[in-house]
Amino acid sequence: MRLLSAIVALSVACSSLGKANNWDKPCFHGECAYDTIGTEETGYGSIKIYGSPKSITDITPASGWVVLDCDPNLLAQDIRLVCRSDDDEGCNHIYEHDPVHRIVRLPESCGKGPFARIASMQVASDQSIPAHAEQKILRRDGVVPQVHLLSVDSNFEAVPADIEPVSFVLVGGNFPGLELDPDVLGSLHQRDADNIFKSIAHAVSKAANAVKNLPTSTFPLEINNININKTFTPPALNVQKHFDLLDVHQHCGSTDAELKVSVDGNAHAEVSVGAILIGHIIPPKIEKAGAFAQLSAELGARLMIKAMLNGDFDTGKKQIVSVGIPGFSIPPIFKLGPWFEIDGQIKGKIDLNIDIDVGANYGVQFWFPPSAGPSSSKEVKPKDTPFKLSAAADISAKGTIEGHIIPSVKLGFEVLGGKAKADVYLDIDAYAKVNLDAQASASVHHRSVEGELNEQLYAPPYGRAAREVVVRSVDRAQAATFNGCVDVSIWLSLGGGAEGNIFGLWSADKAITFFKKEFHLLKVCFTISRCHGGHSWEDALRNVGVLGKPSVTCLRP
């Protein structure tokens, strides 16, 4: 017996469609398959349904039927059809058992999805035959054939309990070639759902990795019966945007003070997503479900904090950008709608102006639930991180600030006509953490110049820029000195989870973390002098904290 891992055959060439689905063979023996056509709307994948021949039938040309009227955009509709010839035995299959509540395969251009429930079947009141169908009908006796009216929908819950079950296996994603191999699906009736699921998940992971890692030349490759004959790179997402995370103004005496946090973000990402489902159309139930996301990305963001107010603040998690990603759909059985999102967050306590660049390179593969497959981080490392500190005069600062840039891949699940919905997400939180202990004494605020540093510098060798990072510039004032220590680290945290419920398989708000690491980039202590006289600033005592806003205190001359 061949290994079940061969159940997924990856053939990335777009011309390889149709492996599981055979339009020349009618679905008369209790099984039927369908491959998507590979558009941005449908994605790439296959579904195989199987059960009793009493529960599955067919109205495609292979079964002897000619469809006269059918809307390709509707799930629920009335379809007029006629038997192609007076001696075509295939047409009789639909009547061998009561057609009502059977699952029927529809022709490619008929209906929004490949399968539907038969709600009723009767002789049509309209017996006309359109010209486009006349030449497809063969009648030796010259008798005009009888036109039938088939009513179909996706109301699988309406099927009574005494109808024999119809099960399905589905795999698909937004990269080409995820197809169920018909040669190894013949004994699905006897196979355990857990073994089927694990084998498909293992094959999909290897397939996605192999597609990503192939060289640009084209050649055949086999990995555990996954056939890959052409390279494929997911469409790249390029994002560049300026966004204000926080902008608070406060009237302080005769002066307006401001606390402003903004970000200049950019990202280049390639995202592959997919899903596996095993369950039943009749009765509607999902036994196993898994979501797959693979992200290769380069992310950079400059966080700019302008602090003329002193206090605690937290912007909360705010969306910077959201971009839709092509998904995968086989209506009404399953729809996967993914998107890529970047969020930002700043929190801490600080009273100095800070610019810091946060970024990282990622190579991440994520499965949810964790039992579906191994999540891994092939490449997760911070980028070079420049850092600039600007100090106002006569300030003593002890504080901590965290600047978060969080790219996410989110997958919206809709199963069995919307009977169950859930979102699966992969979050990659890259955040810079700055610990500051600084003092300054000065008079008239003057201008920004390069400071003269007497430094004790520690910078681990993670990157060229990290070794060169120092306090770049300081707002200078006459008769000023500025000294202190700054400790900068980058944290990378990878995790994900689900929100919602898929027939009790996934509990709401279930989250996991599968990678978390600190990269210590910089620790520097410094003293800046060579200044001249003036007058000092002092802290105002009035606290202007308001519910829902940062708790801040004015700094005024």
Q: What is the pLDDT of residues 355-401, one digit of tens each?
A: 666 666 767 777 777 777 767 665 666 666 556 665 544 455 667 77
Please provide residue 293's backbone torsions phi and psi, each rounded to the nearest 5 degrees: -140, 135
SS3 55: coil
d(CA 184, CA 19): 12
Percent of the chain with pLDDT over 90: 19
Residue 25 has pLDDT above 50, yes or no: yes
- Helices and strands per DSSP (H, E), number in the chain: 3, 32
d(CA 520, CA 490): 6
Report whether the peptide linkage leading into residue 369 is cis, meaning its omega lies within 30 degrees of zero.
yes
DSSP-derived secondary structure letter, 343: E
Amino acid at residue number 147: V
What is the predicted pLDDT for the residue at 507? 62
441 Cβ contact partners less than 8 Å away, ≥ 6 residues apart:
393, 394, 479, 480, 481, 536
Is-contact 553 540, C-beta < 8 A?
yes
Q: How far is CA 543 from the centre of its chain?
A: 43
Token pair for 283: 């009765």
- In order of 135, 401, 434, 447, 519, the CA distances from 397 in angstroms are 87, 12, 12, 20, 24
Q: How far is CA 525 from the centre of its chain?
A: 42
d(CA 360, CA 170): 35
Report whether the peptide linkage leading into residue 332 is cis, meaning its omega lies within 30 degrees of zero.
yes
Which residue do the tokens 């006509």 mark? 417
SS3 134: helix
Please provide residue 156's backbone torsions phi and psi, each rounded to the nearest 5 degrees: -65, -25
Q: Would you place residue 501 in the very low, low, confident or very high pLDDT band (cuts 50, 70, 90)?
A: confident
pTM: 0.71
Give the DSSP letter string of 176-236. TTEEE-GGG-TTGGGS-HHHHHHHHHHHHHHHHHHHHHS-SS---EEETTEEE-S---PPE
**For residue 393, which of 261, 481, 455, 304 has the smallest C-alpha distance?**
481
SS3 248: strand
**For residue 273, which of 322, 235, 221 has the smallest C-alpha distance?**
235
Q: How far is CA 115 from the centre of its chain?
A: 27
What is the predicted pLDDT for the residue at 552? 41
Out of 30-39, 241-250, 392-401, 502-511, which region has the weakest mean confidence (pLDDT)? 392-401
Token pair for 316: 């909360």
Mean pLDDT of 305-311: 67
Give the H or E element holding residue 299. strand 285-307
**For residue 34, which of 50, 22, 51, 52 has the smallest C-alpha distance?**
22
- In order of 8, 67, 84, 115, the CA distances from 111 in angstroms are 27, 11, 20, 8
Q: Per-residue pLDDT tens for 391-441?
A: 544 455 667 778 888 888 898 888 888 888 888 888 888 777 878 776 654
Q: Would you place residue 89 in the very low, low, confident or very high pLDDT band (cuts 50, 70, 90)?
A: confident
What is the predicted pLDDT for the residue at 37? 76
**For residue 490, which of 294, 359, 352, 334 has the smallest C-alpha distance?**
359
Torsion of CA 73, 420, 173, 204, to 10 degrees: -150
Is-contact 22 48, C-beta < 8 A?
no
- In order of 104, 188, 278, 288, 371, the CA distances from 192 in angstroms are 25, 8, 10, 11, 16
Q: Per-residue pLDDT tens for 167-211?
A: 998 888 887 767 665 544 444 444 555 555 555 555 555 544 543
d(CA 182, CA 198): 18
Token pair for 431: 């955040």
Q: Per-residue pLDDT tens for 114-164?
A: 999 999 999 999 999 998 888 888 776 677 789 999 999 999 999 999 999
Is-contact 162 222, C-beta < 8 A?
no
